[in-house]
Structure 1
Amino acid sequence: MSKHVDSKQQWEIIQKTFCIDGKFSVNSADDEDLALVVRFVQQLGAGQFVLDLALDAIWTALRQTIVPDFWQHFKAYYDQKHGKDNDEPGEGSVDVMSRVAAAVSELYDGAVSFIPLIHRCEILCEKAGCKWEDCIPGGIMEHFKLHLRATLHSQMPPSFTFLLHKFFSAAFKVFYHAEIDTQDESEEIVEESMQCGGCNAAADACHCQAITNTFNQVNRQLFELDLLERLAGDIISSLLLTVITQHVTTTCRDSFDQSRIHQLEKWVENVVVGWLEVVYCGGRGHLSSADESIQRMVSDNLTHTYMTALYHTYTTTRIDQLFNIVIEYPESQPALDDIRECLDRTHLRDRLVESLRSAIQTRLLHPGVNTTDVLDAYISAIKALRVLDPKGVLLELVSEPVRQYLRGREDTVRYIVSSLTDESSSELSEELLVAAPLVLDDSHSDDDNMDNWETWTPDPVHAHSLKSKSQRTADIISMLVNIYGSKDVFITEYRTILADRILSQFNYDTDREIRYLEHLKVRFGETLTLLHKCEVMVKDVADSKRINSIVNSDENQRRSKQKFPVSAMILSAQFWPSFKEERLLLPEEVTKELDTYTEAFQDLKGNRTLNWKPHLGQAQIEIELKSRTLNLTVTPTQATIIYHFQECSRWSISDLSTITQVPKTILRRKITYWQTQGVLHEVEPDIFVLVEGEDVGEKGHPSVAGTSQSDITPQAIEEDEAESVMASAQDQREEELQVFWSYIVGMLTNLDCLPLERIHAMLKMFVQGSVECSPQELRAFLDRKVRQHHLLFTNGLYKLPKS
C-alpha cells in the first residue's frame, strides 16, 4: 500500500478496509497495512465516525442478508412438507439433517466472515480512542453475537420449530437406538434386523453415523455462535419431556409389583443427560476446561431439571393409576414406596387427594357396588395410604367421603362385625387379635407434647383442620368404629350376630364365641354393658346344655312319658336382643311335650318358668313315603307344615294359614323348601298336594304329571335359610330409645319447650347408665317423633303438641 496518498485516497482505503463503501467484502490485510489505515483514520480525525459506520455495515448485513437467508431454509422446508403427516421411509432423517446443516453452515460461515472486520474495529478502538456501546461486557465480539441473536429472534418465522424439532428428534432417535443396542449386546446377542431402528433405513444402508456427524457439526457451530441454547433450548426441553413422559408411561403401564423409580433415574442419567452432553459437547467427546460453565450446566442444572421432570411425570402417571394401586395392596407396595419418595420431591399432594377422591366417588361409591367391596376397598385404602403418609393426613382427606357413604348403608355394621368374628375373613379377624384399645373421635392425643423435641416433626400444612394424630394413626378397627363414632352400634350388632349364630347352629360348643368375646372386651372395654350381656348369652348356652342333660336324664320321672326328646336353648330374656315376632301354632302333640319340659324345668328352678318361642329352633323329623324315607333337620314352621299333610294330603294356602296361624306370605315362602325336596307339589295356584312318589323325576326326586320346579328360584331358598331370627339393629335400637320417651314427655310438660342440647344433658343426668345415646342419635329419634306428630319443632325448640 502506498504511503504517499492524499486525503481522498486515504478515505477510499479506509472505506474499503472497514467495508463502509457499500461493497461488503472483507479483504485480508497484514498488521502493517492495518496500522497504516488506522494512522489515516487518526490523521483525518474520523475514528469514531469510521467505527460507527463499520458496525452499522455489519448490523445491516446481518439484518438484510445473513439472517433472512438462514430463515429461508426453514420456510422452504415447511412449505414443502406442510400437510404431510409422515416423511417418506428412509428419506426423512437424512433430508432433515442436510437441510438444517446447510442452513446453520451458511449462517456460521457468514458470521465467521465478520471476524476480521470485528478484529479491525477492536484495533481501531484501541489505537484511535474510539468508544462504542460498552454496556455489554466482552468487547465488540460479544456485542456482535448479541446483535446476531436479536436479529434472528426479530425475524424468526413461526414455522422454524417444525424443521428444528425434526432435526433433534432424528438425532435423539439415533442416539437412543445406539444406547439400546449397547445394552442388548452387553446382556445377550440379538438377531440382526432388516431395518435400522435409528434412521429407519435398510440395515445395509444405515445413515446413523452420517446423522451423528452432521448433528455434532451443527451443534458445534451453534454453540460457537452462542445460539445453541437460544434457538434450540426450548425445543430440546420439549422433546426430552415428551420422551420422558412416553418412557414412564410405557414402563409403568399397569405394573405395580416392582419398584421403577431407581431404574428410571438411571435411564435419565444414561439416556437423557447422556444425550445432552452430546448436544453441548458438539461432538468433541468431552468438555474442555474452558467450557466449565457448560459442564456445570449439563451435570448439575440440567440433570436436576430432568430428574425433577421425571419425578413429576412418574408421580402424575401413578396418581392416575392410584385407585388400582390401592385396591391391589399389598402387591402394589413397591409402587407406593416409589410414590412416597417422589411426593417428597414434588408438590402434587393436592392433586393426589383430588384425583383419588374423584376415582373413589366414580368407581366405588354408588349403588352398583356391594357394601363388602366398598369396605374391602376402604381397608385397602387405610393400609395403602399409610404407606404414602404415615402421619395419616392423606388418609383423612381421602377417606371422609367413604365414611359418609358407609354410614348411609344399612348393612355396613353387620359386615364389619361379621368379618371381625369370622376366621375365614383374615383381614379383620387378625386385626382383632391385636391387643390395643380403640381410639375414638372424642379422644385426645399426647403426641404433640415436646418431651421428645429432638425427634419432633410438624404436621403437614393440610393437617390444620383435621383430627388429632392419634386418630389419623389409629388401627383399622378403630377407623371402622369411627365411621359411626360409637361402640354401642357395633356391640349391638355383635349381640344380634351372636344370637343368630347360637340359634341357627344349635350346638353347645361356645369356645370360639368366648375367644372372640375376650378379644372384643380388650378392644371395646370390659365395662361396656352390652358386652356383659353378651357374656350372659354365652353363659346361657352352657347352662342350657346342663339343664337339658338333667331334664332328659333317665332319672327324671317324666322321661318315660316323652314321645320324642326335647332339648331347649334357655335364654335370659333381659340380656338377649329382641326376636322377630312371628306367629306359629304348633301341633297339640308337640305342645304337650313342651309343657312336659316346662314342668321339669320348674321343678328344677323353683320360681322360674319358660316362655316358648315356637317359631325358633330346629326339628329332626323322619318322613315315610311310599317309595322313600327322608331324615331331615328343619325349622319348626317347616315341620308344622308337613305335619298337617299326614292328616290331609291336599291343602290350600288359606286353610293351612288358618290352622298354623302363619301369615300367607311367610307360609308361601316356607313351603318352597318342601317343593325342592319333591314332597309337595302345587297342582293349582295356592293348592298343594303330598307327593308319595309314584313317578321318579330327575335326580331321584318323585314327580307327578305337570310337576315343574322351574318357578322355584335357588336364590329365594338361600335367602330364606339365611334369614335372621333377630329383629334388625335399627328396630332394637328404636326399642331401646323408647326408654327416653317418658322422660322427654315429663321434661316438656314441666318446662314447655327445650333445645336438643338441653334435652340431651338432662337425659344423661336422669337416665345415666341404662342406655347411651349421642346427640345425633337423639336428634334422629326426636325428628321421628315430630313426623309422627308426637312433638312440635319450632325455632330450634321441641315441645309437646297442644291437646
Structure 2
Amino acid sequence: MYLAQILRSSSIGQIPSWNRQLGITTLKKIFATVIDKCVTDFVEWAYSGTYNDEVRHHVRFWTQHVLSEYISVFIHATQHAAIDPISGDIQKYQQMALSRLWALRVNEMFDMILDWDQTVAGIDDLKTLISTPQARQFVAEKFTKALQTRLLHPAASTIEILQVYISTIRALRRLDPRGVLLSKVSGRVRQYLRERDDMIKVVVTGLLSDISLHPTQRTADTTDVLSELAWELHNGDPSSGKGNSNLDWNNMDWQPDPIDAAPETTSTRGHKHTDVIGSVMSLLESKDVFVRELQVTLAERLLRNKEDYDQETSVLEHLKIRFGDTALQACEVMLRDVLDSRRLDQTIRKDQGLDITGSMPAAGHEDEAEPALHAKILSRLFWPSLPGSTPAYGEEEKHFNPPLHILHQRERYEQGFEQLKQTRKITWNDHLGAVSLELSFADGRTYTDEVLPYQAGVIYAFNDDSDHDRHILPADRNDLAPQPVVSKSVSELSEELGLTPALVRSACLLFVSKRILTPTPGRTDTYSVLEYLHPTDAPITAAADATTHKQTAPVGSSSEQLDPDTAAAAAAAAQAQSERAAELAAAHAAKDAEQREKRAKMAVYQQFVTAMLTNQGAMPLPRIAMMLGMVVPGGFPYTNEELRDFLNGMVREGAIEVAGNNYKKAS
C-alpha cells in the first residue's frame, strides 16, 4: 500500500523526463545528494534529544521499510528493474542511517554527559562506533572541543567543572570500560582543574557533604556542594582504584588492550582511571596537600554544635582504605578529641557544680538564667591553625575579654580540668566556638540565633543594667517608634572587649541588619539598642556606615505616607542593603585578621632573611625563596610575589637594602 502511494507521486512520473534531460549519471548524483540530506534531516528531527533502547531498531526499521522503498522506486523508474532491493543494499542503507545517528550523538555528547543518568541509552548508541582507533580519536577530538568551548573557561565554577568531570568518568566508563576514550578526553580537563586555586577545598567539602540524597536528587540548597564525591566514596568500589584489578587469571573473556591505549590505562596498571574518587584524588599535587586541607575542613565541622559525628567518622574510615592509617592519624586524633571532650565536659561540670549554677538566675535578674559554659578540649599539636584561632587583636590588647560570669565559669572549669589532668593546662581560644543567643526587647520581641563568641560579646556589652528601669512601654501601643536606650561607640567596644575596630564594626552591622541595633543619630560609629520597633518600620540602612564609617540616621515609620506595597518594597530593599553592608564588614574584618596573621608569621622569617644575607652576601629573590624553602621547618608557604612584598617592607624599615636585582644587609 505504501509503495503504491509512492508510485502515484507526481515526482515519480518526472524521473524518465529528467533522465533524458540530465543523463543517468547526473540524475543519480542529484538523487544521492537528496537521499543523503533526507536521511540527515530525518535522523536529527526524529532522534535529537530522544534517548531509549529502541532508537537503533527504529532506524533499521525506517531504513528497510521507508528509505529503501524510495530508492527502489528510483531504480525501477531509471532502469526499469524489478522493485526488489537486494538485502545487501538494505544493510548498506542501514549503515548510512546509523552513521548519521552516531554523528548526532557525538554532537550531543556534552549534553548527554551533563545528564547522563537519563541519557544512558544515547551513550549506548555510540558503543558500536568506537570500535576502531580512528573512531575513538574522532569522538575524543569532538568532545574535547565541546569541553573547551562550553566548560573550560573562567565563567564556570570549579564545582561545575568537577561535576562534568565526574559525569564524564561515569559515562565513558560505561561506553569504554577499558578507559581508552577517557584517557584521551580527560587530559585537558585535569590540567585546567589543577590551575584552579579552590579545587582542593571543593573536593574536601564534597567528600564531607551529606550523602542522604543520590547525586541525581540534588536540590537548590545543595548545588554549591560537590555531593557526588561523598556518594561515590560511600557507594563506590575502593578496590577499583588500587591497580592490578584487571589481572583476573580466571577471566575467559579477557582481551588485550587496544593499540591506541595510553600506558597509564593498560591492564597491568589497573583501572584507576575509571574510579571516580581515585581519578579526582590524582588531580592533587601530593597526598599531604589533601590531608592538610582535610584537617582544616574537618576541624571547622568538628567545632560546630552537632548531636553526633557519625558522618565524619564514616568519611575517615573510607579514606583510610585509600590513604592508609598513618596519613590520617592527625584527623583521627581530632575526632577523638571531640568525642572525649563530651565525656570530660560532663565530668568537670558535675564535679564543679556548674550544672547547678548554670541553671540559677543571674544576680539582679530573677527571670534570667546564667549562661552555661561547655568546652571542647583539643590537642594543640594535632589541630590546624584555623581562621580565628589566631585572633585579630589590637595593638595593645592581647586577649578578648568575655563577660565576667563567663570568666568565673572558666576559672572553675580550669580547676576541674587540672584535677582530672594534673599534667596538662587549658589555654582558652576565645575566637573559636559558638554561642546560643537569645535576646528579649521591651516591646515583646525575641531573637534567637547562634553566633560567634566575639559577636555575642559585642551584643552583650549593650546589656546595661543601669538602664533596665527605663524599658517602659509607651502608653499608646499603636504609636511604637524606635527608642534607643543603650548606646556605645565602636572605639568604646574595641577597648572594652579587646577586639579590633573592624571586628566590632562587623558585629554591630550584623545586628543592625537583624533590627537589633541602630546607628545613633549625630554620632559617628555609635550604635544603640532598638528596644521598640513598629511592625511597619523599615530596617536601618547601614551601607554608608559600612563603607565610609559615616553615621546614618535611623529610618522612621513611613506607613502614614506610603501605601502598604510601597512601604513593604522599601523595607525589603533596605533590609537587603543592610544585610549586604553586614557581609562587606564581615569580609573586611576577616581580611584584616588574615593580613595581621600573615604579618605576624612573616615577621618570624625576617630573622632567617637577615641571617642569610649576613652570611651569604647579596642574593636575588629566587635564591632567597629557595634558601627559605630549605631552612624553614615545613617549607616556606608563600609565593615569590608575597616574598617580594615582604622584602620591600624590610627595605622601607631599613633592615636590608636593594641593589639592582639583589637584596643585601643594610650597611
Above 0.5 in TM-score? yes
Match of 1:526 in 2: 325
1:714-767 Cα deviation digits (max 9, x unpaired): 567689999999999xx99x999x99x989x99x989x99xx9xx99xx99x99
Residue 228 (structure 2) pairs with residue 430 (structure 1): no
Quote how far apart the aligned CAs of 1:455 are: 3.0
Residue 66 (structure 2) pairs with residue 271 (structure 1): yes
Residue 565 (structure 2) pairs with residue 565 (structure 1): no
Quote how far apart the aligned CAs of 1:247 are: 1.0
Q: Superposition pairs for residues 285-684 of structure 1, below 5 Å?
A: 286=82, 298-300=86-88, 302-303=89-90, 305-344=92-131, 347-422=134-209, 423-424=211-212, 426=214, 427-433=228-234, 434-436=236-238, 439=241, 455-461=254-260, 463=262, 470=270, 473-504=273-304, 506-507=305-306, 509-528=308-327, 531-553=328-350, 555-556=351-352, 564-580=371-387, 581-582=390-391, 583=393, 584-628=400-444, 630=446, 632=448, 633-647=450-464, 649-684=486-521
Kept in 1: contact 2:538–2:575 (CA 8 A): no
Kept in 2: contact 1:419–1:429 (CA 8 A): yes
Match of 2:564 in 1: none
Q: What stretches of structure 2 of length at least 5 have no aligned partner?
A: 215-227, 359-369, 394-399, 465-484, 541-552, 558-570, 649-660
Residues paired across the two proteins, number = 558
SS in 2 for 1:507: coil
SS in 1 for 2:274: coil
SS in 1 for 2:303: helix
Quote how far apart the aligned CAs of 1:259 are: 4.5
Quote how far apart the aligned CAs of 1:340 are: 1.9
Quote how far apart the aligned CAs of 1:274 are: 3.0
Match of 2:34 in 1: 239
AA at the equivalent of 2:45? T
AA at the equivalent of 2:320? K
SS in 1 for 2:153: coil
SS in 1 for 2:197: coil
Distance 1:309 1:436 in 2: 42
Kept in 2: contact 1:396–1:472 (CA 8 A): no
Quote how far apart the aligned CAs of 1:503 are: 1.4
Against the structure 1 CA distance between its residues 280 and 704, is the aligned structure 2 distance closer, same or farther, given a 3 Å change threshold?
closer
Against the structure 1 CA distance between its residues 714 and 599, is the aligned structure 2 distance closer, same or farther, given a 3 Å change threshold?
same
Against the structure 1 CA distance between its residues 558 and 666, is the aligned structure 2 distance closer, same or farther, given a 3 Å change threshold?
closer
Distance 1:696 1:271 in 2: 73
Against the structure 1 CA distance between its residues 711 and 455, is the aligned structure 2 distance closer, same or farther, given a 3 Å change threshold?
closer
Match of 1:38 in 2: none
Q: Superposition pairs for residues 128-139 of structure 1, below 5 Å?
A: none
Against the structure 1 CA distance between its residues 209 and 625, is the aligned structure 2 distance closer, same or farther, given a 3 Å change threshold?
closer
Kept in 2: contact 1:586–1:640 (CA 8 A): yes
1:223-264 Cα deviation digits (max 9, x unpaired): xxxx74x44332232221111111111112222345422311
Kept in 1: contact 2:506–2:586 (CA 8 A): no
Against the structure 1 CA distance between its residues 679 and 371, is the aligned structure 2 distance closer, same or farther, given a 3 Å change threshold?
same
Kept in 2: contact 1:319–1:356 (CA 8 A): yes
Match of 2:525 in 1: 686
Kept in 2: contact 1:544–1:568 (CA 8 A): yes
SS in 1 for 2:518: strand
Distance 1:493 1:286 in 2: 76
Match of 2:43 in 1: 248
1:593-637 Cα deviation digits (max 9, x unpaired): 222211221122102111111122222344343222636343211
Kept in 1: contact 2:180–2:260 (CA 8 A): no
Quote how far apart the aligned CAs of 1:487 are: 2.6
Distance 2:637 2:261 in 1: 32
SS in 2 for 1:330: helix
Against the structure 1 CA distance between its residues 590 and 650, is the aligned structure 2 distance closer, same or farther, given a 3 Å change threshold?
same
Kept in 2: contact 1:500–1:724 (CA 8 A): no
Kept in 1: contact 2:435–2:456 (CA 8 A): yes
Distance 1:353 1:312 in 2: 17
Distance 2:53 2:578 in 1: 47
Kept in 1: contact 2:507–2:586 (CA 8 A): no
Against the structure 1 CA distance between its residues 357 and 700, is the aligned structure 2 distance closer, same or farther, given a 3 Å change threshold?
closer
1:370-417 Cα deviation digits (max 9, x unpaired): 322222111111111223322222222222222222222233222222
Distance 2:100 2:539 in 1: 66
Quote how far apart the aligned CAs of 1:346 are: 9.6
Q: What stretches of structure 1 of length at least 5 have no aligned partner?
A: 1-176, 183-197, 199-206, 289-294, 791-798
Quote how far apart the aligned CAs of 1:287 are: 7.1
Structure whose CA Rg is larger: 1
Distance 1:253 1:612 in 2: 64
Against the structure 1 CA distance between its residues 314 and 560, is the aligned structure 2 distance closer, same or farther, given a 3 Å change threshold?
closer
AA at the equivalent of 2:238? A
Quote how far apart the aligned CAs of 1:712 are: 4.1
AA at the equivalent of 1:538? L
Against the structure 1 CA distance between its residues 268 and 659, is the aligned structure 2 distance closer, same or farther, given a 3 Å change threshold?
same
AA at the equivalent of 2:293? E
AA at the equivalent of 2:452? T
1:446-470 Cα deviation digits (max 9, x unpaired): 8689997983323242636978753
Against the structure 1 CA distance between its residues 419 and 332, is the aligned structure 2 distance closer, same or farther, given a 3 Å change threshold?
same
SS in 1 for 2:520: strand
AA at the equivalent of 2:413? Y
AA at the equivalent of 1:556? Q
Q: Superposition pairs for residues 730-749 of structure 1, below 5 Å?
A: none
Distance 1:513 1:603 in 2: 31
Distance 1:678 1:625 in 2: 11
Against the structure 1 CA distance between its residues 519 and 278, is the aligned structure 2 distance closer, same or farther, given a 3 Å change threshold?
same
Against the structure 1 CA distance between its residues 318 and 623, is the aligned structure 2 distance closer, same or farther, given a 3 Å change threshold?
closer
SS in 2 for 1:620: strand
Against the structure 1 CA distance between its residues 234 and 540, is the aligned structure 2 distance closer, same or farther, given a 3 Å change threshold?
same
Kept in 2: contact 1:396–1:466 (CA 8 A): yes
Distance 1:472 1:694 in 2: 62
Distance 2:264 2:322 in 1: 28
1:550-574 Cα deviation digits (max 9, x unpaired): 1111x43677777543210111111
AA at the equivalent of 1:640? G
AA at the equivalent of 2:300? D
Match of 1:144 in 2: none
Kept in 1: contact 2:486–2:528 (CA 8 A): yes
Distance 1:548 1:723 in 2: 35
AA at the equivalent of 2:175? L
Distance 2:54 2:113 in 1: 15
SS in 2 for 1:710: helix
TM-score, normalization: structure 2? Answer: 0.70
Match of 1:21 in 2: none
SS in 1 for 2:128: helix
